[in-house]
Amino acid sequence: MRPISRRLATPSARPSRHAPVLRVGIVLPIMMGLMVSACGVANDSGPRALPPTSTSTTSIPTNLGSAPAVIYFLQHENLIPVTRALPERTPEAVVESLLQSPTDADGEDLASAIPSATRLISAEFDDDVLDVNLSEDFGDVVGPARQQALGQIVLSLTSLENVTDVTFRLEGESFKVTSPQRGDVEVVTDCDFQSLVADPESEELRITSEQLTILSFRVAQLRERCGPT
């Protein structure tokens, strides 16, 4: 893929000339999931306009499969979306994928704040709140890096259409999350980590056009629902 003006990264592996074409009908499941999530956590009862979607045709990333999902890694300390093929679009599958470090196929200059030894014990719904239980290894990350790690998990999970609110446990023991927006809280949403999401207008971004589309859409949603940072 050729880079475009905002320093969009060229994928490490050149797509085959016979690579399939990704029309909006295939991209939209990801976008629609974000739209449904947005409707579930609006701050008022009135109708809200959603960001417009493109009707153009783009190339499909080579790592897409039958169950594409968006997860978030770090690039220059900011959250960046990456699309990966999963066996199914479930909270468990999303977290398990997120616990695998970024590869060259995911993009350039990507990192994860989640300790590499972290394991997912469970991800279960309690009414409408998703409770994520992680192994004690997650406790090794502290300070700003802990906020980034939690932001990765929350932004990834709330990309699914049925997840809006998240709580956390460490080896079964619940703990409060330090939200960059609200301080220590028990239940968090993507609004709590809005300030950690990369600015689509930044000249420092090294992402593909597909990533830029997803990032721009997510940022527009967050500004609409959560207000300015």
Q: What is the pLDDT of residue 35?
A: 55
Contacts of 84 (CB under 8 A, 6+ apart): 63, 68, 69, 71, 97, 106
* Domain assignment present for 1: no
* Domain assignment present for 8: no
Burial class (CB in 10 A: 0-12, 13-18, 19+), 88: exposed
Domain interval for residue 128: 21-226
CB 21 within 8 A of CB 60: yes
* Domain assignment present for 120: yes
Residues 136-145: pLDDT tens digits?
Answer: 999 999 999 9
* Domain assignment present for 25: yes
CA atoms within 13 A on the CB side of 203: 0
Residues 106-119: pLDDT tens digits?
Answer: 999 999 999 999 99
| Phi, psi (rounded to 5 degrees) for 63 | -95, 15
| Mean pLDDT score, 57-72 | 62
CA distance 59 to 15: 9
Q: What is the pLDDT of residue 172?
A: 97
* Domain assignment present for 14: no
| Mean pLDDT score, 20-31 | 41
The rounded mean pLDDT for the chain is 81
Residues 119-175: pLDDT tens digits?
Answer: 999 999 999 999 999 999 999 999 999 999 999 999 999 999 999 999 999 999 999
* Domain assignment present for 11: no
CB 48 within 8 A of CB 84: no
Show the tokens assigned to 16.
């085959």
Q: What is the pLDDT of residue 43?
A: 42
To which residue do tokens 């797509």 refer? 15
Per-range mean pLDDT, top range of 15-29, 53-67, 144-158: 144-158
* Domain assignment present for 109: yes
| Mean pLDDT score, 57-80 | 74
What domain count does the chain have?
Answer: 1
The H-assigned helical ranges of the chain are: 24-40, 91-98, 144-157, 209-226
Q: What is the pLDDT of residue 228?
A: 86
pTM: predicted TM-score of the whole model, two decimal places: 0.76
Q: What is the pLDDT of residue 23?
A: 30
CA distance 203 to 108: 15
* Domain assignment present for 211: yes
